[in-house]
Structure 1
Amino acid sequence: MRKLLNTLFVTTENAYLTLEGETVVVHCEKEKIGQFPLHTLSGIVSFSYAGASPALMGACVQKDICLSFCTPHGRFLARTSGISNGNVLLRRAQYRTADDLNASCQIARNMIFGKLYNARWSIERTRRDHKLRIDEQRFQSASETIHKLLPMVLQETNLESLRGLEGAGATAYFSVFDDMILREKENFYFEIRTRRPPLDNINAMLSFAYSLLSNDCGSALESVGLDAYVGFLHRDRPGRSSLALDLMEELRPCLADRFVLTLVNNRIINGNDFSKSESGAVQLSNEGRKKFLKSWQERKQETISHPFLEEKVPWGLIPYIQALLLARYLREDLEAYPPFLWK
Structure 2
Amino acid sequence: MKQPKYLFNAGRMSRHDNTLKFTPVDEEGNEGQSRHLPIEQVSELYVFGSLDANSALYNFLGQHGVSVHFFNYYEHYTGSFMAREYLLAGKMQVEQTKAYLSAKKRIVVAQRLIEGAAANILRVLKYHTNRNAGRRDESIPTAIAVIEQLLMSVPGTNDVPMLMGIEGNIRQTYYSTFDTIVGETFCMDGRSKRPPQNELNALISFGNMLCYTACLSTIYHTQLNPTISFLHEPGARRYSLALDIAEIFKPILVDRLIFRMINKRQLQPSDFRAEIGGCVMKEAARKRFVQGFDELMKETIKHRSLGRSVSYRHLIKLECYKLQKHLLGVEEYRPFKAWW
TM-score (norm 2): 0.92
**Equivalent position amino acid for 1:273 in 2:** D
Q: Is the 8 A contact 2:204 2:255 kept in 1?
A: yes
Confirm whether residue 107 of structure 1 aligns to residue 105 of structure 2: no
Name 2:155's counterpart in structure 1.
Answer: 154
Instruction: Name the SS for the 1:282 alignment partner.
Output: strand
Instruction: Identify the residue that residue 207 of structure 1 maps to in structure 2.
Output: 205
After superposition, the C-alpha distances for 1:34-64 in whole angstroms (9 at most, x for unaligned) are 2211212211111123343323322222222
Counterpart of 1:288 in structure 2 is 285
Helix, strand or coil: the match of 2:51? coil
Residue identity matched to 1:267 = R
Q: Which residue is equivalent to 2:317?
A: 320
1:16 equivalenced with 2:22 (yes/no): no
Change (3 A) 1:278 1:72: closer
Name whichever of 246-255 and 29-38 sits farther off: 29-38
Helix, strand or coil at the partner of 1:239:
coil
For residues 214-225 of structure 1, the aligned pairs below 5 Å read 214-225=212-223
- Name stretches of at least 5 consecutive residues in structure 2 with no aligned partner: 26-30
Partner of 2:313: helix, strand, or coil? helix
State the AA in 2 paired with 1:236: P
Correspondent of 1:27 among 16, 20, 23:
23
Aligned partners of 1:284, 1:236: CA distance in 2, in Å?
30
Q: Give the Å deviation of 1:307.
A: 5.0
The one-letter amino acid paired with 1:322 is E
- Cα 1:134–1:6 shift into 2, 3 Å: farther
2:301–2:309 contact (8 Å) kept in structure 1: yes
Amino acid at match of 2:300: T
Q: Cα 1:38–1:323, aligned 2, differ >3 Å: closer, same or farther?
A: same
Give the Å deviation of 1:144.
Answer: 1.6
Give the whole-Å Cα distance in 1 for the aligned partners of 2:73 and 2:4: 17
Structure 2 equivalent of residue 253 of structure 1: 251
Task: State the alpha-carbon separation in 2 of the partners of residues 174 and 69 from structure 1.
Answer: 27
* Matches of 2:177 and 2:236, distance apart in 1: 35
Match of 2:103, as an amino acid? L
Partner SS for 1:166 = helix
Q: Measure how far apart 1:127 and its partner are.
A: 1.0
The residue that corresponds to 1:333 in the other structure is 330
Find the residue that maps to 2:91 and give its secondary structure: helix
The answer as to whether partners of 2:75 and 2:280 remain within 8 angstroms in 1 is no
3-state SS of paired residue (1:131) = coil
Q: SS of the counterpart of 1:251?
A: helix
Correspondence for 1:311 among 292, 296, 308 = 308
Give percent identity, aligned residues only: 23
The list of structure 1 runs, each at least 4 consecutive aligned residues, that deviate by more than 6 angstroms after superposition, is none
Paired amino acid for 2:116: G
Measured in 2, the distance between the counterparts of 1:103 and 1:232 equals 9
Question: Aligned pair in 2 of structure 1 residues 241, 98: CA closer, same or farther (>3 Å)?
Answer: same
Q: What is the number of residues matched between the two proteins?
A: 333
Alpha-carbon contact 1:307-1:342 (below 8 Å) kept: no
- CA deviation profile, 1:157-213 (whole Å, cap 9, x unmatched): 32122112212222221221211103xx24x11111101100100110111111111
Contact 2:65 2:84 in 1 (8 A): no
* In the alignment, structure 1 residue 342 sits paired with structure 2 residue 338: yes
Q: Identify if the C-alpha distance between structure 1 residues 178 and 151 changes in structure 2 by more than 3 Å, giving closer, same or farther.
A: same
TM-score normalised per structure 1: 0.91
Are the equivalent residues in 2 in contact too, given 1:49–1:72 (CA < 8 A)?
Answer: no
